């Protein structure tokens, strides 16, 4: 009768809440089990309140964190395939962790557990809750300005640098020179691709202009050199030397010149300078 009364009290408290009925049951059961442990002076307890519903997980752990002074193990259970499971897990766990709730986590879904660990580590690194090992890759999505095989380049860069670089160097792979310099702000090493070419910067300073086929090798070379200089104490991660000045698409990447020479566009003069 006492258990039933307590559940009714909690039900009234959570009335109108989207997950009120389930929250009342979960809190009542937690109180019941913790009373058993505490009556026996046993306090080595961690609380987990998993569900496959990401919103319920957020609501449950938020309420539990207010009521119980025990470590919380976060997770979304029965989350589905990797595609849906990772999104559900990160939506719930990321929200909770960002609000200071949670002590341990597990991301789980119906796939290789190695991927679960990788996703969990990336989540913690993204929230600055775990030191990153290896590169942090920044890459832009596709758009009409891309003139290289960006998707293949990004995958090749990640695979190669993951195997070769140990320090958490921030590497940017950008498909154009329009938004690239701004979006790569803060990158230690960056490449901006143009018409079958790539311009490589190290901490804001241009170091190379290479054909598309040579981008990966030169980027790896610059990352290795940069890593060695960091380890030698010559420079620091995230220490921008100069502001990145967007390269001139005509003088640097060649696409403008080629179009002018082919007659696709005309060179015109406007007040204050030249426009192509």
Q: What is the domain-level CATH number for residue 81?
A: 3.20.20.20
- Confidence class for position 76, pLDDT limits 50, 70, 90: very high
Same-domain pairing of 53 and 90: yes
Residue 275 lies in a domain: no
Domain end marker among 98, 126, 154: 126
CATH of the domain at 251: 3.30.413.10
pTM: 0.76
User: 79 or 167: whose pLDDT is higher?
Assistant: 167
- Residue at which a domain ends, from 74, 95, 126: 126
44 and 85: one domain? Answer: yes
**pLDDT confidence of residue 31:** 92
Q: What is the pLDDT of residue 220?
A: 96
Reported confidence tier of residue 7, pLDDT bands at 50, 70, 90? confident
Same domain for 162 and 82: no
How much of the chain exceeds pLDDT 70, in percent?
87
Let me know whether 107 and 179 are in one domain: no
Does 108 share its domain with 145? Answer: no
* Cα–Cα distance, 221 to 116 (Å, whole number): 32
Say whether both 198 and 243 belong to one domain.
Answer: yes
**Same domain flag for 223 and 119:** no
Following CA atoms 78, 84, 90, 93 in sequence, which dihedral angle do they give, to the nearest 10 degrees? -20
Output the average pLDDT for the chain. Answer: 86
State residue 247's pLDDT score: 58
Report the number of distinct structural domains present in the chain.
2
pLDDT at 25 over 50: yes
Residue 274 lies in a domain: no
Tell me what pLDDT residue 165 has: 96
Q: Is the pLDDT of residue 122 over 80?
A: yes
Give percent above pLDDT 90 in the chain.
59
> Is 147 within the bounds of a domain?
yes
Q: What is the pLDDT of residues 192-247, one digit of tens each?
A: 887 788 889 999 888 999 998 999 999 999 999 999 999 999 999 988 765 666 65
Q: Are 216 and 193 in contact (CB under 8 A)?
A: no
End-to-end CA distance of the chain: 83
Q: What is the secondary structure of 202-236 as a DSSP string?
A: ETTEEEEEEEGGGHHHHHHHHHHHHHHHHHTTSS-
Tell me: do 147 and 234 sit in the same domain.
yes
φ and ψ of 84, to 5 deg: -80, -35
Lowest mean per-residue pLDDT among 55-59, 134-138, 245-249: 245-249
118, 107 contact by CB (below 8 A):
no
6, 28 contact by CB (below 8 A): yes
Say how far apart CA 50 and CA 56 lie, in whole Å: 9
Whether 118 is covered by a domain: the verdict is yes
Cα 208 to Cα 227: distance, rounded to the nearest angstrom: 17
Give CB contacts under 8 A, 24+ apart, made by 97-100: 97/123, 97/124, 97/127, 97/129, 98/127, 99/62
198 within 8 A of 148, measured Cβ to Cβ: yes
**Is the domain of 114 the same as that of 141?**
no
109 in Cβ contact with 84 (< 8 Å): yes
Residues 182 and 241 in one domain: yes
pLDDT for 265? 47
**Is residue 38 one of the residues assigned to a domain?**
yes
Check whether residue 92 and residue 146 sit in a common domain: no
The last residue of a domain, from among 91, 126, 161: 126
H/E stretch holding 138 reads strand 136-139
Q: Based on the fold, state whether residues 166 and 122 are members of the same structural domain.
A: no
What is the domain range of residue 86?
A: 2-126
């Amino acid at each position: 009768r006492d258990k039933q009364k307590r559940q009714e009290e909690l039900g009234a408290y959570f009335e109108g809440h989207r997950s009120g009925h389930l929250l009342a049951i979960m809190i009542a059961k937690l109180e019941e089990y913790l009373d058993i442990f505490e009556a026996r002076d046993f306090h080595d307890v961690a609380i987990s309140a998993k569900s496959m519903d990401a919103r319920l997980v957020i609501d449950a752990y938020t309420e539990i964190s207010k009521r119980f002074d025990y470590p919380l193990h976060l997770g979304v259970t029965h989350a589905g395939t990797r595609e849906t499971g990772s999104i559900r897990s990160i939506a719930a766990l990321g929200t909770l962790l960002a609000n200071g709730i949670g002590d341990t986590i597990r991301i789980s879904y119906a796939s290789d557990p190695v991927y679960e660990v990788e996703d969990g580590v990336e989540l913690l690194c993204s929230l600055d809750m775990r030191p990153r090992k290896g590169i942090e890759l920044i890459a832009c999505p596709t758009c009409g300005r891309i003139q290289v095989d960006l998707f293949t380049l990004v995958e090749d860069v990640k695979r190669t640098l993951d195997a070769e670089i140990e320090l958490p160097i921030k590497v940017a792979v950008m498909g154009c020179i329009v938004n690239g310099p701004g979006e790569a702000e803060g990158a230690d090493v960056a490449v901006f691709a143009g018409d079958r070419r790539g311009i490589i910067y190290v901490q804001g300073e241009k170091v190379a202009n290479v054909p598309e086929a040579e981008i990966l090798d030169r980027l790896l070379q610059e990352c290795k050199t940069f890593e060695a200089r960091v380890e030698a104490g010559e420079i620091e991660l995230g220490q921008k030397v100069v502001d990145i000045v967007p390269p001139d698409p005509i003088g640097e990447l060649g696409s403008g010149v080629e179009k002018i020479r082919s007659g696709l566009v005309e060179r015109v003069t406007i007040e204050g300078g030249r426009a192509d």
